[in-house]
Amino acid sequence: MDQLLPFGDWFWWIAAGVLLILELTAPGVFFMFLAAAAVIVGVLDTALSLGWQIELTLFAGFSLIFVLAGRPFLKRRHMLDSDRPNLNRRMYDHVGKNFVLAEPVVDGKGRLRIEDTIWELRGPDLPQGARVKVTGVEGMRLKVEAA
């Protein structure tokens, strides 16, 4: 057998174990996909005695497939995990709520005080004291309309 690298049949199994340990110690869910690719290459190598070039090519291919296939699942899971999905995006908590303007909206721009925070807003020109409803978010600005 012509192997230039000093790896035996157990290399991919050990690599999978090391990648799973890295998964436990590092934030995120990336090494798990690489570990799965290493397990598949380990199974194929044990069954077929592949050359190292084919093993590395298969590992790269399976890693790419698993990472690309797993991304949509992780995005969906990440969005559903939190009981407070707007924790770091407080402006979305205000959408659909009504407030009273402390300052007038002039030329479509204004400011709105909500609790202890002053938010920039975009909306129709309105006088001070008018009731507004937050209809959306545009960057870091609240979009409002007359309530």
pLDDT in tens, 109-147: 988 888 888 888 999 999 988 899 999 888 888 899 988
Reduce the DSSP state of residue 70 to 3 states and report it: helix
Per-residue pLDDT of 24-36, as tens digits, reads 888 777 888 999 9
Cβ-contact 101, 110 below 8 angstroms = yes
Distance of CA 55 to the CA centre of its chain: 31
